[in-house]
Amino acid sequence: MKELEKTQRLSIASVLVVLLVLISLLMYKRPKHVYNTNSKNTLEKVISDDYFIGLDQINNPDYILVDVRNQIEYNKGHLDHAINIYTPELLNKINSKLLKKNKKQNKTMLLYGNNPHETIAQFMLLYQIGYKNTKILTVENSYFENKLITKNSPIENATVDINAFIKESVKNSFKALKKTTKI
Amino acid sequence: MINRNLAKVLSFRYKILALVLVLLAAGLVLLPKYVKHEGISPKELLSNAISPERYISTDELAHKIIEQDPSFLLIDVRDEESFKKFSLPYAINIPLKKLLDEESVNYLDQDEYDIILYSNDHFYADQAWIICNRLAFKNHRVLEGGVNEWFATIINPEKPTENMPRLAFDLYSYRKAASMYFGVAYPEQARPAVSTTNKTKKRRVTVRKKKKMAAEGGC
Amino acid sequence: MGPLIPNGFIPDEWNNIIAIIIGLAFGYILEASGFSSSRKLAGVFYGYDFVVLKVFFTAAVIAVIGIFYLDYLGYLDFNQLYIHPTYLWGAIIGGIIMGVGFVTGGFCPGTSVCGAAIGKIDAMVFILGILIGVFVFSELYTLFEPIYDGYFLGNQTLMDSLGVSPYWFIFIFTIIALVAFFVVDQIRKKVKKVFY
């Protein structure tokens, strides 16, 4: 009899373990968004540079413009036919549905913000969770007399040769020095 | 009565437990499989990416370099050519396409130094930051505005006009002093022996491999 | 999420404290389920008591199923777990020595400490034997080193070396375990009862 008690304890323990597994299975919610590319592929995509679209190319029926700025700025002025997905709300339910719909219809989403910097995080995130139909519209938006001015914006070009500037400044100062010493 | 029923059930307990085990194991076989990818969850990545905390201003960086703060690594993610042409002092070159090479990861994935990424603008540096952030590398920051901003604020600061607040003048004199530290010479403050500061500074950094904690086993 | 300590959910400093707590629990359960009796332990070799085999087989099956469920559900990263390195011939020879010691002494290293704790003299002698063995091994280490360090196959699991899907492997493993329990029970019924 004593032995039976012991085995009962064992079976109770194992039933508890099984219950635990079942409960964790039932409680488990599959995350809505999971990565479907690894970091290496993402890096290759990022280097490839084929995800930039200029302002002159947007007249394509397959393109959907996505404004990543907040609602206030969107209401103040946005490009024609643009939809608004504010960055922090990118992964919420409504926007997820929207993203899925666009993916199904094979539309390409063009992200734009006040400048291209504002879109890079969204673009890379969307790319990594499987929305490969995303591109960046390289534009800069600014306001002039309450009207939205949109112009192309170059990505990452070196504007000045700093070493040359420093050398020049040193030369100039030498000249100045010579002048002062002459006088 | 209940006891008897219980005893009846319990007499089958081994069979029941065996059945449960088989079911659990079969469940593993039958569950739909999906490929798992590394990295923190996309939601976390998004909330990290929209926080402006990752940016460090050029003034802060200049301060750090002048103070010779040993706690950070400057990493240049542009290609070798532009790195050779001009780089910030003490920077290490890791072109974007080599970001995930083993050698680079040794620099990026460690917790001894803060990492400051920069490029011409902060576009490429941001891309590098996002990739590193997904892989949960710690203490990464991005130089806001990159080299262009560095030029506009530190190397060639704009002279404030008369009607600007005093703060602007203070900032200007600070930036001017900083630019002189980085080799720029001004005519009105010319000194004869100034030309030696313009060599590129290199710092040797030995990065210890982040130790992977592996549990030891035993019976 | 897991494993908890390498991922920083529990600070590294707690490592030893947790180890002590788990060790105490392990010892308590060993003793409570009668593993401090060398007759019970040796019974598996003579066919009158198969508790050892059942316990270890069940533990392995439960652990592997649990780990894979946790891995599947994303609570645990399977790739971060420690996998014991395989030194082929070292393991084989060590296993044989351990088995012989098990049959003759009636204890395995863990249970001998357990038995010594409740005052069994044979367990204490067994521990003494272990210590002598450790001493001899360390003295002759240079002699054994090629076997001890050689034939290294890396941190391999059975699934790696057999090249089968882990899920099917677990399923088959579970079936084998259950069949083993059944067969073992039949054997025990045939063998004359031993009272201890």
What's residue B217's pLDDT?
46
Range of the domain at B49: 42-187+194-198
Tokens describing residue A11: 């079976």
The C-alpha of C129 sits at a distance from chain A's nearest C-alpha, in angstroms, of: 33
> Is the pLDDT higher at C9 or at A72?
A72
Q: How far apart are CA C103 and CA C100, in angstroms?
A: 5
Tell me: pLDDT of B198 over 60.
no
Residue A58 in any domain: the answer is: yes
Mean pLDDT, residues A108-119 taken together: 84
Average pLDDT for C172-183: 92
Cβ neighbours around A103 below 10 Å, total: 17
In the predicted structure, residue C136 carries a pLDDT above the cut 90: yes
Of the listed ranges B22-36, B195-209, C12-26, the one predicted with least confidence: B195-209
B209 has a pLDDT exceeding 70: no
Quick one: A13 and A62 in the same domain?
Answer: no
3-class DSSP assignment, residue B9: helix
- What's the pLDDT band for B2 if we cut at 50, 70, 90? low
Write down the residue that tokens 């091994």 correspond to: C137
Give residue for tokens 């910097």.
A117
Subunit contact B29:C168, Cβ cutoff 8 A: yes
Among residues 124-153 of chain B, which lie with CB inside 8 Å of chain C? none
Q: Pick C62's closest partner by Cβ from A6, A17, A24.
A: A17
- Would an 8 Å CB–CB cutoff place A91 in contact with chain B? yes
Count of alpha carbons within 13 angstroms of residue A101, beta-carbon side? 7
Q: Total structural domains in chain B?
A: 1
- Are A73 and A3 within one domain? no
pLDDT of residue A49: 76
A145 vs B27, higher pLDDT: B27
**Alpha-carbon distance B10 to nearest alpha carbon in chain C (angstroms):** 17
- If one counts every other C-beta atom within 10 angstroms of the C-beta of residue B49, the result is 21
| pLDDT at residue number B193 | 44
Q: Quick check: B42 and A155 CB within 8 A?
A: no
> Is A124 in CB contact (< 8 Å) with chain B?
yes
Q: What is the pLDDT of residue B199?
A: 45
pLDDT at residue B202, as a whole number: 57
Residue B18, token pair as written in the block: 């065996």
Look at residue A76 in the predicted model and tell me its pLDDT: 82
pLDDT at B196: 42
| Contact yes or no for B24 and A39 at CB 8 A | no
| Cβ partners under 8 Å of residue A137, min gap 6 | A53, A54, A55, A58, A65, A110, A111, A112, A119
Count how many domains chain A has: 2
Cβ of A25 within 8 Å of Cβ of C74? The answer is no
CB contacts of A25 in chain C (<8 Å) are 69, 73
Q: Are residues A61 and A11 in the same domain?
A: no
Residue B189 has pLDDT above 80, yes or no: no
Residues 33-52 of chain B with CB under 8 A from chain C are 33, 36
SS3 B198: helix
First-to-last CA distance in chain A? 117
The per-residue pLDDT for range A17-33, each reduced to its tens digit, is 778 877 877 777 777 77
* B116 sits in which H/E element: strand B114-118
Q: What is the pLDDT of residues C105-114, one digit of tens each?
A: 888 888 899 9
Model confidence at B195: pLDDT above 50: no
Q: Which chains touch A (3 or more CB pairs under 8 A)?
A: B, C
pLDDT of A136 higher than 70: yes
As given in the structure block, the two tokens for residue C67 are 């780990």
pLDDT score, position A2:
54
Output C32-35 pairs: Cβ under 8 A, ≥24 positions apart: C33/A6, C33/A10, C35/C111, C35/C114
Which pLDDT score, from 0 to 100, does residue A114 have?
Answer: 84
B neighbours by CB contacts (3+ pairs under 8 Å)? A, C
Q: Chain A contacts of B191, Cβ < 8 Å?
A: 177
B24/A18 touch (CB, cutoff 8 Å), yes or no: yes
Interface touch B126/A161, C-beta < 8 Å: no
CATH number at residue B61: 3.40.250.10
Which residues of chain A make contact with B121, given a CB cutoff of 8 A? 117, 155-156
User: Based on the domain organization, do A51 and A132 belong to the same domain?
Assistant: yes
Q: Which of C3, C61, C168 sits opposite B21 (nearest CB)?
A: C61
Residue of chain C minimizing CA distance to A34: C74
Give how far Cα A93 sits from Cα of A122, B20, B47, Å: 16, 37, 16
Strands B114-118, B55-56: pairing kind: unpaired
Residue A183 is assigned to a structural domain of this protein: no
Mean pLDDT of C44-61: 87
In this structure, is residue A107 part of a structural domain?
yes
- C-alpha–C-alpha distance, residues B30 and A25, integer Å: 14
Pair C43, C49: CB distance under 8 Å: yes
Mean pLDDT of C85-97: 89
Residue of A nearest to B21 (CA): A18
- Put simply, the answer to whether C66 touches A21 (Cβ < 8 Å) is yes
Q: What pLDDT sits at residue B1? A: 58
What is the full DSSP assignment across chain C? -BSTTTTTSS-GGGHHHHHHHHHHHHHHHHHHTTTT-HHHHHHHHHTS--HHHHHHHHHHHHHHHHHHHHHHHTSB-GGGS-----BHHHHHHHHHHHHHHHHHHS--HHHHHHHHHTT-HHHHHHHHHHHHHHHHHHHTHHHHHHHHHSSB--S--HHHHHT--HHHHHHHHHHHHHHHHHHHHHHHHHSPP---
Are the beta carbons of C66 and A6 separated by less than 8 Å?
Answer: no
Whether residue A65 is predicted with pLDDT greater than 50 in this model: the reply is yes
What is the domain range of residue A78?
39-152
Of the two residues C132 and B34, the one the predictor is more confident about is C132
* Cβ <8 Å between C178 and B18: yes
User: What is the tens place of the pLDDT at every residue in B108-156?
Assistant: 888 788 888 888 888 888 888 888 888 888 888 898 888 888 888 888 8
Is position A159 within any domain? no
Q: Which amino acid is at B102?
A: E
Between strands A139-144 and A63-67, the pairing is unpaired
Q: Is the per-residue pLDDT at B180 higher than 80? A: yes
Write down the mean pLDDT value for chain B.
78
| Confidence bin at A79 (pLDDT 50/70/90) | confident
With an 8 Å Cβ cutoff, is C89 touching chain A? no
Asked if the model's pLDDT at residue A67 lies above 70, the reply is yes
Query: Shortest Cα distance from C44 to chain B (angstroms)?
Result: 19
Say if A61 falls within a structural domain: yes
Taking the model in full, what pTM does it have?
0.71
Residue B218 has pLDDT above 60, yes or no: no
Q: Do the domain assignments include residue B210? A: no
pLDDT tier, B207 (very low <50, low <70, confident <90, very high otherwise): low
The percentage of residues in chain C with a pLDDT greater than 90, rounded to a whole number, is 24
Task: Please list every residue in chain C whose beta carbon sits closer than 8 Å to the beta carbon of residue A10.
Answer: 33
Q: Is A132 inside any structural domain?
A: yes
Q: Is residue B69 one of the residues assigned to a domain?
A: yes
Range with the poorest average pLDDT among A46-55, A95-104, A160-169, B190-199:
B190-199
Residue A96 lies in a domain: yes
CB distance from A128 to chain B under 8 Å? yes
Higher pLDDT, C36 or A179: C36
**Preceding peptide of C3 cis, ω within 30°:** yes
Residue of B nearest to C15 (CA): B215
Structure tokens at B180: 């002189």
Q: A8 and A74: one domain?
A: no
pLDDT of residue B40: 80
More confident of the two residues C96 and B179: C96
* Cα separation, A19 vs B127, whole angstroms: 45
User: Measured between CB atoms, does C69 come within 8 Å of chain A?
Assistant: yes
C-alpha to C-alpha distances, C158 to A38, B126, B198, C165, nearest whole angstrom = 27, 43, 61, 10
- What is the chain C residue with the closest CA to B218? C84
Nearest to C73 among A6, A14, A24 (CB): A24
In this predicted complex, what is the ipTM?
0.78
Lowest mean pLDDT across B22-31, B144-153, C3-12: C3-12
Q: Is the pLDDT of residue B157 over 60?
A: yes
Q: Give the model's pLDDT for residue B206.
A: 62
